[in-house]
């Protein structure tokens, strides 16, 4: 065995030992009974301890609770989320949530969840702060990339599959941030004004799917909704409120210091756990349950003993339900110490995880433009002595003699200059920054992956900066020029990163990316642009005839380089779809970030109601440059045979998809529903999708079942889901605009 192999085996050994520990799950009912027994045996201090964080400085993880060792209850370790295990050693830097959404694949999203679950378990993390299910209300919102885009249905499905995956490994998922928490500016003092119907159909809807996935916990957000902080809102949290009336059986945790006022107000409203268990002067919140606050409230009767018991029982129930009481690995790391007994540097990434991270990154790359031609080269080009040259994608390695790799975004960042929030100086963008960032430890940058793949088969001229003149000099006379550009955003406005605080300032590419692209395209008529971004960017250059292909690769995680090589060179047939629209102006999105940072109550009006992104654009006859659900393939697909029938309460929609092109590939058929006139719904809303792998010439029948709720609108008067009467239209398409089949019921 080679030395390197030996080292790998030794490193992986502890992981396998940890994972070998089996766990037994229980039903909600059995777990709740056990939790109630334990609660009954606790002192009041022990009960309060289970419900309160041990402070930021005292935590090994992002948040810890107090243990009750005599009853076998450990300090719970709670950790971010939601793009893997938040920076630590020996973990995988997974593709972000928005890239998971781009796959439109329930299978891949669930597998991603299960693999993250394995890594969390291996580190001894009981609760994961993910998935994020905040809608990308405005594309500039700093944290939009953490969740699954502007569409509530896609967010619901993304969250559902992630939770099922995570929890299948015995780790608790905590969906966040509940809710209407859609920008970083004013996130502590903003009040989102949201009407009841939009709350249910848009900002609450994804969390209904979390509940249906048996989510263990839900994090209430920093903001207020209609004047009330979410963590003290009975309308959202009480037994008759949004979550519980929809069957939520887990517990509610505060975002960091997001509880305000008095302990009793929050506990009685439906809050169960306070994190990190201390006052935060920045947001003037937190520290209400801590320092005797909750205990005093019980002793003076403002919180009943029964409510306290209920809170503890709710926190402990998922712990027992997922079998965390037996064989769960000890927490073996410390976020704030570099040494010490906790830091065992256990490696939880595996070759299988790396392969899956790469597959998801490739599957989430969206081919936006591809002008594939084979023609005689222009006079500038050295074509390896052949008469014919290929333009566009995929690139055939053996046919390229001279090429260029251009852009700061192709390059590995200097990781020693990145802080713990992944705020890095320059380099490629694989994930946004903030608490949702993930590990860059094993990141393989595009330029390195390309040169490893190309080897000596071609001469590569590299210009790994955004210097437009240098980029053009590298590209001139080349068979192909790959230009990498990016746009970034992240959490929180205090640190100004790349000239912006959290939310993006605009939808432009970073560092004059547009000028770089245009200079390269001016001298190379086979310019291929790869965009790494946290969300939509303006692409006025997309129609430039010298730009033969564009790949929108999003925030793809550590396997960014190898995954894009596979797509560019045709080892992976692109199949990703846009989980948002790419329009030509900010105005096309119909919402705005409130940038005003003045302290004091501030209102963010959600006047657009149900009309976000494609819903707004269709309503206002705005044609985006690249629409929601759009993405090209190296093959072609045809659709036929739409059938609509009834099956109990379901409408069953069936149709056939065929690979009519010349290479194997995967199609993402989408179902959009048109509600009856007068229902107040957008013209089309996403209500189904599938990923269908098809070999050349083969076809499959796709079935989508629409439940009663899928066909309902939220009736604010009766406070019920109601199926509006009238004719529904069914649109089956390869995007919101590329509709191939229509029907009615
Ligand atoms: C605040 C962030 O809003 C939340 O998403 C995160 O889970 C916590 N900090 C803990 O890091």
pLDDT digits (tens, 9 = 90+) for 167-206: 999 999 999 999 999 999 988 889 999 999 999 999 999 9
Residues 405, 541, single domain; the answer is yes
What local confidence, expressed as pLDDT, does residue 380 receive?
43
The residue nearest atom 1 of ligand 1, judged by CA position, is: 256
Decide whether any atom of ligand 1 lies within 6 Å of the 81 Cβ: yes
Distance 221 CA to ligand 1 centre (A): 9
d(CA 430, CA 364): 13
Final residue belonging to a domain, choices 580, 602, 617? 580
d(CA 147, CA 134): 6
Distance 401 CA to ligand 1 centre (A): 49
Preceding omega of 229 cis (within 30 degrees of 0): no
What local confidence, expressed as pLDDT, does residue 497 receive?
73
d(CA 651, CA 229): 39
Contact predicate 219/251, CB 8 Å = no
Residues 489, 571, single domain; the answer is yes
What local confidence, expressed as pLDDT, does residue 7 receive?
36
Average pLDDT, the chain: 94
Contact predicate 93/557, CB 8 Å = yes
Domain annotation covers residue 130: no
The residue nearest atom 9 of ligand 1, judged by CA position, is: 256
For residue 21, name the pLDDT band (cuts at 50, 70, 90): low
d(CA 414, CA 317): 44
* pLDDT tens digits, 372-390: 988 765 544 444 445 578 9
- Whether the per-residue pLDDT at 2 is higher than 90: the answer is no
User: Which CATH number does the domain housing residue 694 bear?
Assistant: 2.60.40.10
Residues 562, 693, single domain; the answer is no
- In percent, the amount of the chain with pLDDT more than 70 equals 95
Average pLDDT over residues 214-218: 99
The residue nearest atom 5 of ligand 1, judged by CA position, is: 435
Domain annotation covers residue 129: no
What local confidence, expressed as pLDDT, does residue 306 receive?
98
Residues 574, 642, single domain; the answer is no
Residues 566, 642, single domain; the answer is no
Decide whether any atom of ligand 1 lies within 6 Å of the 80 Cβ: yes
Q: Which atom of ligand 1 is nearest to the CA of 434?
A: 2
* pLDDT tens digits, 671-719: 999 999 999 999 999 999 999 999 999 999 999 999 999 999 999 999 9
Three-class DSSP category at 536 = coil
Q: How many CA atoms lie within 13 A of 449 on its CB side?
A: 23
For residue 20, name the pLDDT band (cuts at 50, 70, 90): very low
Average pLDDT over residues 631-635: 98
What local confidence, expressed as pLDDT, does residue 494 receive?
67
Nearest one of 578, 569, 577 to 393, comparing CA atoms: 569
User: Which CATH number does the domain housing residue 466 bear?
Assistant: 3.40.50.1700
For residue 18, name the pLDDT band (cuts at 50, 70, 90): very low
Decide whether any atom of ligand 1 lies within 6 Å of the 248 Cβ: no
* pLDDT tens digits, 155-168: 999 999 999 999 99
d(CA 449, CA 447): 6
Residues 553, 665, single domain; the answer is no
Residues 651, 571, single domain; the answer is no
Domain annotation covers residue 669: yes
CA dist list (Å): 664 to 328, 371, 572: 43, 19, 10
What local confidence, expressed as pLDDT, does residue 492 receive?
82
Active-site annotation holds for 255: yes
* pLDDT tens digits, 231-279: 999 999 999 999 999 999 999 999 999 999 999 999 999 999 999 999 9
- Whether the per-residue pLDDT at 24 is higher than 50: the answer is yes
Task: Return the H-helix or E-strand segment holding 245.
Answer: helix 242-245
Distance 258 CA to ligand 1 centre (A): 10
Distance 639 CA to ligand 1 centre (A): 44
- Whether the per-residue pLDDT at 1 is higher than 70: the answer is no
Decide whether any atom of ligand 1 lies within 6 Å of the 435 Cβ: yes
Distance 274 CA to ligand 1 centre (A): 13
The residue nearest atom 11 of ligand 1, judged by CA position, is: 435
What local confidence, expressed as pLDDT, does residue 731 receive?
98
pTM, two decimal places:
0.96
What local confidence, expressed as pLDDT, does residue 219 receive?
98
- Whether the per-residue pLDDT at 480 is higher than 80: the answer is yes
Query: Which of 175, 187, 190, 219 best tests ligand 1's pocket when mutated (most atoms within 8 Å of CB)?
Result: 219
For residue 406, name the pLDDT band (cuts at 50, 70, 90): very high
Q: Which residues pair with 603 in a beta bridge?
A: 191
What local confidence, expressed as pLDDT, does residue 600 receive?
61
Catalytic residue among 134, 214, 255, 259: 255
Question: 321 phi and psi, to 5 degrees?
Answer: -60, -40
Final residue belonging to a domain, choices 565, 580, 595? 580
First to last CA, the chain: 65
Final residue belonging to a domain, choices 580, 614, 649? 580
Decide whether any atom of ligand 1 lies within 6 Å of the 148 Cβ: no
Domain annotation covers residue 111: no
Counting the structural domains of the chain, the total is 2
Domain annotation covers residue 420: yes
Distance 264 CA to ligand 1 centre (A): 23
- Whether the per-residue pLDDT at 217 is higher than 80: the answer is yes
Distance 435 CA to ligand 1 centre (A): 6
Q: Is 70 left (phi over 0), alpha (psi -120 to 50) or beta?
A: alpha
Decide whether any atom of ligand 1 lies within 6 Å of the 62 Cβ: yes
What local confidence, expressed as pLDDT, does residue 376 receive?
64
The residue nearest atom 4 of ligand 1, judged by CA position, is: 255
The residue nearest atom 3 of ligand 1, judged by CA position, is: 255
Domain annotation covers residue 301: no
Residues 573, 656, single domain; the answer is no
Domain annotation covers residue 10: no
Q: What does the block give as tokens for 443?
A: 């990141």
Q: Which atom of ligand 1 is nearest to the CA of 177?
A: 5
* pLDDT tens digits, 32-53: 999 999 999 999 999 999 999 9
d(CA 353, CA 703): 30
Residues 437, 517, single domain; the answer is yes
Q: Could you list the residue range(s) of the whole structural domain that residue 547 is in?
A: 352-580
Decide whether any atom of ligand 1 lies within 6 Å of the 255 Cβ: yes
Domain annotation covers residue 648: yes
* pLDDT tens digits, 55-66: 999 999 999 999
Residues 399, 533, single domain; the answer is yes
The residue nearest atom 6 of ligand 1, judged by CA position, is: 435
Residues 467, 535, single domain; the answer is yes
Decide whether any atom of ligand 1 lies within 6 Å of the 176 Cβ: yes
Average pLDDT over residues 335-351: 88
Residues 556, 463, single domain; the answer is yes
- Whether the per-residue pLDDT at 366 is higher than 50: the answer is yes
More confident site: 564 or 336:
564
* pLDDT tens digits, 715-739: 999 999 999 999 999 999 999 999 9
Q: What does the block give as tokens for 719?
A: 């406070």
Starting from the edge strand earliest in sequence, which strands make up the sheet with 251-254, in order?
63-64, 77-80, 127-129, 172-178, 217-220, 251-254
DSSP 8-state assignment for residue 377: P
For residue 598, name the pLDDT band (cuts at 50, 70, 90): low
The gap from C-alpha 16 to its chain's centroid, in whole angstroms, comes to: 28
* pLDDT tens digits, 698-707: 999 999 999 9
Buried b / exposed e over 443-453, threshold 16 CB at 10 Å, is bbbbbbbbeeb
Nearest one of 604, 600, 94 to 355, comparing CA atoms: 94
d(CA 134, CA 222): 12
| Least confident span in 78-92, 110-124, 126-140, 258-272 | 78-92
């Amino acid at each position: 065995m080679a030395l390197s192999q030996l080292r790998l085996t030794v490193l992986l050994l502890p992981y396998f030992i940890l994972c070998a520990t089996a766990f037994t799950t229980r039903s909600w009912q059995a777990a709740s009974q056990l939790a109630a027994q334990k609660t009954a045996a606790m002192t009041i201090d022990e009960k309060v301890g289970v419900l309160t964080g041990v402070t930021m400085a005292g935590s090994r993880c992002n948040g810890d609770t107090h243990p009750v060792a005599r009853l076998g209850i450990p300090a719970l370790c709670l950790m971010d989320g939601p793009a893997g295990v938040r920076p630590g050693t020996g973990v995988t830097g997974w593709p972000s949530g928005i890239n998971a959404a781009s796959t439109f694949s329930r299978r891949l999203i669930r597998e991603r969840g299960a693999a993250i679950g394995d890594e969390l378990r291996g580190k001894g993390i009981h609760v994961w702060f993910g998935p994020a299910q905040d809608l990308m209300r405005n594309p500039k919102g700093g944290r939009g990339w953490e969740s699954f885009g502007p569409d509530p249905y896609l967010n619901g499905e993304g969250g559902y599959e992630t939770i099922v995956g995570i929890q299948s490994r015995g780790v608790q998922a905590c969906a966040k941030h509940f809710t209407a928490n859609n920008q970083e500016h004013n996130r502590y003092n903003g009040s989102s004004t949201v009407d009841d119907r939009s709350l249910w159909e848009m900002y609450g809807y994804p969390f209904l799917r979390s509940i249906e996935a048996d989510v263990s916990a839900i994090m209430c957000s920093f903001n207020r909704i209609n004047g009330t902080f979410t963590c003290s809102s009975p309308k959202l949290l009480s037994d008759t409120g949004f979550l519980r009336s929809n069957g939520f059986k887990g517990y509610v945790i505060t975002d960091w210091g997001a509880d305000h006022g008095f302990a009793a107000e929050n506990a009685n409203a439906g809050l169960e756990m306070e994190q990190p268990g201390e006052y935060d002067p920045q947001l003037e919140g937190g520290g209400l349950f801590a320092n005797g606050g909750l205990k005093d409230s019980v002793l003076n009767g403002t919180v009943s003993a029964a409510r306290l018991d209920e809170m503890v029982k709710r926190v402990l129930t998922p712990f027992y339900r997922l079998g965390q009481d037996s064989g769960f690995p000890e927490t073996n790391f410390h976020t704030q110490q570099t040494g010490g007994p906790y830091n065992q540097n256990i490696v939880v990434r595996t070759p299988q995880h790396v392969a899956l991270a790469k597959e998801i990154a490739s599957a989430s790359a969206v081919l936006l433009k591809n002008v594939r031609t084979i023609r005689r080269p222009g006079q500038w080009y050295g074509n390896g002595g052949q008469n014919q040259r290929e333009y566009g994608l995929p690139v055939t390695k053996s046919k390229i003699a001279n090429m260029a790799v251009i852009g700061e975004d192709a390059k590995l960042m200097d990781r020693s200059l990145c802080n713990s929030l992944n705020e890095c100086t320059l380099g490629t963008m694989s994930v946004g920054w903030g608490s949702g960032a993930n590990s860059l430890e094993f990141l393989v940058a595009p330029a390195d992956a390309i040169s490893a793949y190309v080897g000596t088969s071609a001469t590569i001229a590299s210009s790994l900066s955004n210097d437009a003149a240098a980029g053009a000099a590298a590209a001139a006379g080349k068979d192909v020029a790959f230009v990498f550009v990016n746009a970034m955003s992240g959490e929180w406005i205090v640190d100004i990163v790349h000239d912006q605080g959290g939310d993006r300032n605009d939808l432009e590419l970073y560092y004059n990316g547009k000028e770089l692209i245009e200079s390269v395209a001016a001298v190379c008529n086979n310019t291929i642009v790869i965009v790494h971004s946290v969300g939509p960017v303006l692409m006025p250059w997309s129609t430039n005839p010298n730009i033969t292909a564009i790949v929108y690769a999003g925030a793809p995680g550590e396997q960014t380089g190898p995954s894009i090589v596979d797509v560019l060179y045709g080892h992976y047939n692109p199949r990703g779809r846009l989980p948002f629209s790419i329009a030509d102006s900010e105005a096309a999105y119909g919402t705005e970030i409130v940038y005003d940072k003045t302290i004091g109550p501030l209102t963010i009006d959600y006047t657009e109601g149900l009309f976000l992104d494609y819903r707004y654009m269709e309503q206002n006859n705005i044609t985006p440059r690249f629409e929601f659900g759009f993405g090209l393939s190296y093959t072609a697909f045809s659709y036929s045979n739409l059938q609509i029938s009834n099956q109990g309460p379901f409408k069953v929609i069936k149709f056939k998809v065929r690979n009519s092109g010349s290479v194997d590939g995967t199609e993402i058929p989408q179902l959009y529903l048109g509600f009856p006139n007068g229902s107040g719904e957008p013209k089309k809303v996403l209500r189904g999708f599938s990923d269908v792998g098809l070999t050349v010439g083969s076809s499959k029948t796709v079935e989508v079942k629409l439940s009663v709720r899928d066909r309902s609108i939220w009736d604010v008067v009766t406070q019920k889901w109601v199926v509006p009467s009238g004719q529904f239209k069914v649109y089956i398409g390869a995007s919101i605009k590329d509709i191939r089949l229509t029907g009615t019921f």
